[in-house]
């Protein structure tokens, strides 16, 4: 099976399944952070990932652990310490995620701009229309 073959319509369900996990915002953030920093504690991650709630971070980490992308190490101390890092599999995901991250950094402004233009157009055409539904059943 050649490598180029991945461009076929097949694997659509695999992609779909994978995306359900790593396609979500928090997962990408966690992998990104762990990729850069190697090992992080729960609250370190929480502080670094802007806006994540404790609940969501916990869920995200559990799912990543379940999928074999992240390891969780508990140190039985008081107060407890739990450290997270990427597995070997998780590290291979770093490349694709980084690419996405870089793309975001490079093109975020273009997107924001495109949105503004699109919205202006919508407003303009909406205003140009002769008031759509009024008078119905009058």
Partner DNA sequence: CGGTATCCATTTGGATACTG
Partner DNA sequence: CAGTATCCAAATGGATACCG
Interaction site with DNA (CB under 7 A)? 24-25, 41-44, 51-56, 58, 61-62, 72, 79-82
How far apart (Å, rounded) are the C-alpha atoms in residues 85 and 33? 9
Nearest of 45, 30, 42, 46 to residue 86 by alpha carbon: 30
Query: Which of a second copy, DNA, none is residue 91 near (CB under 5 to 8 Å by kind)?
Result: none
The correct pick among 2, 51, 132, 134 for binding a second copy (CB under 8 A) is 51
Complex with DNA: residue 42 or 101, whichever CB lies closer: 42
Rule CB under 8 A: say whether 25 interacts with a second copy.
yes
Residue 2 as a binder of a second copy (CB under 8 A): the answer is: no
Altogether, the residues listed in the chain come to a count of 138
Query: Which of 83, 103, 92 lies closest to 42, judged by CA?
Result: 83
């Amino acid at each position: 099976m050649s490598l180029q073959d991945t461009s076929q319509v097949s694997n659509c369900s695999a992609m779909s399944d994978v995306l359900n996990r790593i396609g979500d915002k928090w997962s990408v953030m966690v992998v990104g952070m762990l990729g850069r920093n190697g090992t992080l504690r729960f609250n370190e991650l929480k502080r670094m990932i802007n806006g994540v709630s404790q609940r969501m971070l916990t869920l995200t980490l559990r799912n990543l652990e379940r999928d074999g992308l992240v390891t969780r190490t508990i140190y039985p101390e008081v107060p407890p310490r739990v450290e997270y890092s990427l597995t070997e599999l998780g590290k291979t995901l770093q490349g694709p995620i980084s690419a996405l991250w870089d793309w975001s950094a490079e093109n975020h402004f273009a997107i924001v701009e495109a949105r503004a233009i699109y919205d202006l157009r919508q407003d303009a055409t909406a205003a140009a229309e002769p008031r759509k539904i009024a008078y119905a059943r009058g």
